[in-house]
């Protein structure tokens, strides 16, 4: 007689889950099937037996730290809070920045940084179309225009050469995104910023402790914004932070995240200028979780970096497969493992490839789809206030300048992502993934005839 899954079973398995504190997410187990064998989609044995990932990983100290915060009654970061200010110090030190301002989310960190720069209606912010919607929303939230620049098809990152050409007299900020954790070409962005005297803000929401020429991402430009949302490499459920080494900017960002109120001053002290501010503060609960998690991020980054680079090498040998290139002098933070296929060279469409991957139990998703940002921005400003700031002719001209973004389109139909827990585990998992993809490609003609 088959028993239904009882509540007692549920409790038993969930306490088992709680017991594997500090364990790395198990993503794949090889089935022993040979890469020479028949692909699973054609009836062969899948190369992997198991495909799941668990994130976040509980490190063990979170429970006690959270209880301490609860019991002391200090739930608020300031003036008596201790977790958030200590986390800010720890994260700034880890990243080599002078100042860190923790926020309630990554979106809040972007909104606060742009507010500190007085970004407003009519201003243009240079960024990439290949990003999470929050990047675009942080610009629209200030009634500014995202000036979308196509990506470098090799790295999947915003193309610095095109960014320079996209600047005009209304450009007020450069907002490169290190998408997937892979560094954007910061040499290009720093040079444009310097030449045109425009601040560079890094959207490093996926790029914790990645590096550009020895500097941690987020500390390379004038400021860098981070997310600690639960899927990110340093998680606290929700949360964010801004790094900067510019004291005046740090003060303005603090105010913009704290209803205009500075660290050491009342609401009416405008000595560094008045900043539009809202409440984007982090709670002590988030700070407590982050202080436990931050102790382990370097260990995970080392593992992801070794596995990511190894997998890049393996996949680059397969016809029609192109892992996102890491620029010389850069270290990828590997929030995502990103690659693309050229369907003609690979021998099948991405849809068919997904089917074959699933049959092998190898993870892979399509990432950001072909979001039509031009339509999104048009609709966002299709309100009485929006039409006042951006009459149709202005948006038409902007849309024409943005243009067709062919590389972005290519990625939106041909990129494949694996989420970062796939890289947290033994190196043999990378061999399993590569074996599966290799045998799918070798048998592409037969699979395409299915």
Binding site for ligand PLP (CB under 6 A): 105-107, 131-132, 134-135, 177, 203, 205-206, 227, 229, 240
What length is written for the chain? 450
Q: Least distance from C-beta 42 to ligand PLP, angstroms? A: 37
Give the alpha-carbon dihedral of 297, 302, 305, 307, to 10 degrees: -110
Taking the complex as a whole, the smallest distance from the CB of residue 54 to ligand PLP amounts, in Å, to 19
Residues 186 and 182: their CA atoms lie apart, in Å, by 11
Nearer Cβ to ligand PLP, position 25 or 180? Answer: 180
In angstroms, what is the minimal distance from the CB of 181 to ligand PLP?
Answer: 9
Instruction: Report how far apart, in Å, the C-alpha atoms of 204 and of each of 201, 238, 258, 300 are.
Output: 9, 15, 21, 17
If the CB atoms of residues 353 and 373 are measured against ligand PLP, the closer one turns out to be: 373
**Pairing, β 171-174 against β 124-127:** parallel
In the complex with ligand PLP, which residue's Cβ is closer, 205 or 348?
205
**Closest C-alpha to 99, from 278, 255, 246, 294:** 246
Cβ 335 to ligand PLP, closest distance in Å? 7
Give the nearest distance from C-beta 240 to ligand PLP in angstroms: 5
Question: Of 227 and 305, which CB lies nearer to ligand PLP in the complex structure?
Answer: 227
Order of strands, sheet of 321-323, starting from the edge strand that comes earlier in the sequence: 321-323, 336-341, 415-419
Nearest-approach distance from CB 84 to ligand PLP, in angstroms: 16
Whichever of 188 and 202 has its CB closer to ligand PLP, that residue is 202
Cis peptide before 141 (omega within 30 of 0): no
| Minimum CB distance to ligand PLP, residue 224 (Å) | 11
Helices of type H across 197-325: 247-256, 284-293, 297-316
Q: Which residues contact 2 (CB under 8 A, 6 or more apart)?
A: none
Residue carrying the six token digits 């899927």: 231
Cβ at position 194, least distance to ligand PLP in Å: 24
| Closest-approach residue to ligand PLP (CB) | 106
Q: Tokens in use for 429?
A: 């998992």
- Residue 39 or 224: the one with the smaller Cβ distance to ligand PLP is 224
Query: Other CB atoms closer than 10 Å to residue 307's CB: what's the count?
Result: 22
Nearer to ligand PLP, 205 or 261 (CB): 205
Integer Cα distance of 227 and 239 in angstroms: 6
Residue placing its CB nearer to ligand PLP in the complex, 99 or 228: 228
CA separation (Å) from 102 to 79, 198, 256, 339?
Answer: 14, 24, 12, 32
Q: From the CB of 172, what's the least distance to ligand PLP, in Å?
A: 19
Residue 100 backbone dihedrals phi, psi, to 5 degrees? -135, 135
Q: Closest CB to ligand PLP among 134 and 167?
A: 134
For the chain, the straight-line distance linking the first and the last C-alpha, in angstroms and rounded, comes to 40
């Amino acid at each position: 007689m088959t028993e239904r899954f009882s509540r007692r079973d549920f409790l038993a398995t969930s306490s088992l889950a709680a017991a594997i504190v500090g364990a790395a997410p198990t993503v794949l187990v090889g089935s022993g099937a040979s890469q020479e064998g028949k692909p699973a989609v054609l009836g062969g044995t899948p190369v992997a037996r198991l495909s799941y990932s668990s994130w976040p990983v509980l490190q063990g100290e979170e429970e006690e730290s959270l209880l301490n915060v609860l019991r002391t009654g200090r739930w608020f970061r300031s003036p008596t809070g201790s977790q958030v200010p200590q986390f800010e110090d720890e994260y700034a030190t880890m990243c080599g920045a002078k100042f860190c301002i923790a926020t309630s989310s990554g979106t809040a960190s972007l909104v606060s940084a742009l507010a500190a720069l007085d970004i407003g209606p009519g201003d243009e912010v240079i960024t990439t179309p290949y990003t999470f919607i929050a990047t675009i929303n942080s610009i629209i939230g200030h009634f500014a225009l995202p000036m979308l620049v196509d990506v470098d098809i090799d790295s999947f990152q915003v193309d610095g050469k095109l960014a320079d050409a996209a600047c005009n007299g209304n450009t007020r900020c450069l907002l490169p995104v290190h998408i997937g954790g892979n560094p954007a070409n910061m040499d290009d962005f720093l040079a444009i910023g310097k030449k045109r005297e425009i601040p560079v803000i890094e959207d490093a929401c996926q790029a914790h402790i990645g590096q550009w020429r020895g500097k941690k991402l987020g500390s390379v430009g004038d400021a860098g914004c981070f997310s600690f949302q639960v899927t990110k490499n340093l998680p606290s459920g929700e949360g964010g932070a801004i790094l900067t080494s510019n004291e005046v900017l740090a003060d303005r960002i603090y105010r913009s995240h704290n209803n205009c109120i500075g660290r050491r001053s009342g609401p009416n002290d405008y000595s560094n200028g008045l900043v539009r501010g809202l409440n984007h503060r982090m709670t002590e609960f988030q700070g407590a979780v982050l202080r436990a998690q931050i102790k382990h991020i370097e260990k995970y980054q080392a593992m992801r970096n070794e596995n990511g680079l190894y997998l890049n090498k393996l996949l680059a040998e397969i016809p029609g497969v192109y892992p996102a290139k890491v620029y010389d002098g850069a270290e990828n933070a590997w929030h995502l493992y990103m690659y693309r296929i050229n369907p003609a060279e690979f021998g099948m469409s991405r849809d068919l490839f997904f089917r074959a991957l699933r049959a092998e139990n190898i993870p892979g998703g399509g990432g950001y789809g072909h979001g039509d940002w031009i339509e999104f921005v048009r609709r966002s400003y299709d309100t009485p206030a929006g039409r006042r700031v951006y009459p149709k002719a202005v948006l038409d001209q902007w849309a024409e300048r943005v243009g067709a973004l062919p590389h972005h389109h290519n990625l939106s139909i041909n990129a494949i992502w694996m989420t970062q827990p796939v890289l947290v585990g033994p190196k043999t998992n990378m061999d399993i993934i590569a074996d599966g993809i290799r045998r799918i490609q070798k048998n592409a003609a037969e699979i395409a005839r299915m």
